[in-house]
Structure 1
């Protein structure tokens, strides 16, 4: 998404705190690097309630993460929260399909960028 929307502020966070401070998983970094995407400077952080105020749009990779995010939503908060893709993005750590996950993510980010460009409600 950073390549598609270089002027936007984009961040990433997990709903669990297992890997806070760690870089992305090595094989995922390798697969991304093959697409000229450098993930090396990223470090994991955990999603926080303050993110509802910090970002205009919060995007989840799968329905479980979406539910985890929604459980943290302050009552009545108007933040836009949605799934990235029409289907859950499988976790490549478990599937070992890093390229397949990147294909889904890239296609979904292109659609998201188009949605953002076409209207006020992401």
Structure 2
């Protein structure tokens, strides 16, 4: 069950990881595409950030972008942002990629949780693929797609129209 929108007629979802160049931008791009396919892009806004500021302004990791492109998504517009505590008030729902990210944004609450809490194949962390190979990015994409499918179903059921 998703928290109610802060603003009637609109819902804002933020994805959070460490550097905002791998996991959270992949989740951002996938959710945006699925929201658009469901006809919700006029009422649901999606963005992403990282808890660290090392990559602010940079595009996503080439391997993440390639994985998305090969699956039919376009992540070329992404530029990394850093989490600020205003995100807690500006978003209806923040979804962290792992427990460390969750702790960095203040811990779980009704509006802050792990992305994989929505994964029908099991909850837990979305592993960071940064230091691995292609398979890690493919695994992240699969987790993100499953979780985002559930999220879009829940967004469709919200009274945001």
In structure 2, what is the equivalent of residue 60 of structure 1? 96
- Corresponding residue number in structure 1 for 2:149: 110
Give the structure, 1 or 2, with the largest relative contact order (CA under 8 Å, sep 6 or more).
Answer: 2
Q: Which consecutive unaligned segments of at least 5 residues does structure 2 have?
A: 1-30, 117-122
Unaligned runs of 5+ in 1: none
Whichever structure has more strand as a proportion of its residues is 2
User: Which 4+ residue blocks in structure 1 deviate beyond 6 angstroms?
Assistant: none
Structure 2: distance between partners of 1:81 and 1:114: 18
**SS state at 1:117 partner:** helix
Verify the 8 A CA contact 1:84 1:108 in the aligned structure 2. Answer: yes
Residue 148 of structure 2: SS of its match in structure 1?
helix
| TM-score under structure 1 length normalisation | 0.85
Paired residue for 1:100, among 125, 128, 139? 139
Please tell me whether residue 84 in structure 1 is matched to residue 84 in structure 2.
no
Across the two proteins, how many residue pairs are aligned to each other? Answer: 115
Q: Residues 63 and 88 of structure 1 are in contact (CA less than 8 Å); yes or no, is this contact kept in structure 2?
A: yes
Q: Deviations over 1:7-49 (max 9, x none)?
A: 1100000011111111000011011001111111100000111
> Partners in 2 of 1:115 and 1:28 — Cα distance?
26
